[in-house]
Amino acid sequence: MTELKNDRFLRALMRQPVDRTPVWMMRQAGRYLPEYRATRAKAGDFLSLCKNTPLACEVTLQPLERYPLDAAILFSDILTIPDALGLGLYFETGEGPKFKRTVRSAADVDALPGIKADVDLDYVMNAVSTIRRELNGRVPLIGFSGSPWTLATYMVEGGSSKDFREAKKLMYTQPEVMHRLLDHLADSVTDYLNSQIRAGAQAVQIFDTWGGTLSSWAYEAFSLAYMRKIVKGLIREHDGRHVPVILFTKNGGQWLEAMAETGADGLGLDWTTDIGKARARVGDRVTLQGNMDPAMLYAPPERIRAEVADILARFGEGTGHIFNLGHGITPDVDPAHAGAFIEAVVELSPAYHKQ
């Protein structure tokens, strides 16, 4: 493999010294970029874009052409696994993801096939290996998956939800059925991420978008336990390099200590948690990734810069921080504002990495 020219992101995940704080943005290949919208128009719908290897590669690389980002992230969706399990993923304009079939009973769970990601999600692996080749060692490539709990909520609800009542009904009334579903998903996610690693992903992130809707004990039992299982099953060394894993539970700020005990290398932080207090809680056991409110990108560049300065100061000196937004960048952000954000990290962070 080509030598990696910029390994700041990977070094920060191992708490090794860096010259400045690495930065990338969740959903950095996305609708806020006119060049993304142009490529998307060629592909058709969102899922067709994910499945079109050259175009998925193209949009993955677009933000790197504009900004000095320290990582690329596979362009794909968190719901590829349920789709491969036969639930029929589709997107309705303005309504988010939907499934043609739901999973709400023991029989539904038992009927789910096993999947072999290399075969059943070969389009993802093709995208990973193509992007990795096209990156040519410029920055590392991050692979990803939804967490078992997050995938399960969509599979049970049949799409997005405001209060997750069907998923919670199943969890509270037939916990053993929910556990069987989550266990199946944990095995699938492990296989899926390992395939991505073999195909070329140099780090992986697990998106637990809806773990924060659980009570603390239920988060431990129904979300964190399965992420822990995944972390233990992941390939952690590949091609002579450590392959770091990042857990991101949105609204999970209350549970960082438990998340840090899973063996993950990094934790994603949304913007509701003070990153300085988070660092004090988890020490140097894990790297923290975050955590500017994505809505700050609506503010003028000088306000964005002040916020970057504030977050850098809160985290303080030394390695162990990857700058990011606290959630994905939104479609109506001005690309120049995203640029101001990244530029501020590049310019202001070296002061925190002097020794």
Residue 165 binding a second copy, by CB under 8 A: yes
Question: Which of these ranges, 34-42, 186-194, 202-210, 216-224, lies near a second copy under the rule CB under 8 A?
Answer: 216-224
Q: Using CB under 8 A, which of 78, 214, 227, 282 touches a second copy?
A: 214
Query: Does 40 qualify as catalytic in the annotation?
Result: yes
> What span, in angstroms and rounded, lies between the C-alpha atoms of 41 and 290?
31
Query: Does 15 qualify as catalytic in the annotation?
Result: no
Sheet strands (E) in 1-130: 72-73, 89-92, 96-99
CA atoms within 13 A of residue 298's CA, in its CB half-sphere: 6
In this structure, are residues 271 and 290 in contact, taking their beta carbons and an 8 Å threshold?
yes
Residue 14 binding a second copy, by CB under 8 A: no
Residue 97 binding a second copy, by CB under 8 A: no
CB-wise, 188 or 223, nearer to a second copy?
Answer: 223
Q: Using CB under 8 A, which of 194, 202, 273, 287 touches a second copy?
A: 273
In this structure, are residues 319 and 15 in contact, taking their beta carbons and an 8 Å threshold?
yes
Query: Does 27 qualify as catalytic in the annotation?
Result: yes
Q: 5 is written with which tokens?
A: 């020219």
In this structure, are residues 338 and 298 in contact, taking their beta carbons and an 8 Å threshold?
no
SS3 289: strand
Q: 127 is written with which tokens?
A: 């995208």
Q: What is the CA radius of gyration of the chain?
A: 19
Q: 69 is written with which tokens?
A: 């980002």
Strand bridging mode 321-325 / 287-292? parallel
Residue 272 binding a second copy, by CB under 8 A: yes
Query: Cβ 172 to a second copy, closest distance in Å?
Result: 4
Query: Cβ 176 to a second copy, closest distance in Å?
Result: 13
Query: Does 31 qualify as catalytic in the annotation?
Result: yes
- Give the active site residue among 7, 32, 67, 77: 77
Query: Cβ 271 to a second copy, closest distance in Å?
Result: 4
Query: Does 305 qualify as catalytic in the annotation?
Result: no
List of residues contacting a second copy (CB under 8 A): 163-165, 168-169, 172-173, 212-219, 251, 253-254, 271-274, 277, 291, 293-296, 298-300, 303, 310, 326, 330, 332
Catalytic residues, by residue number, are 27, 31, 40, 77, 154
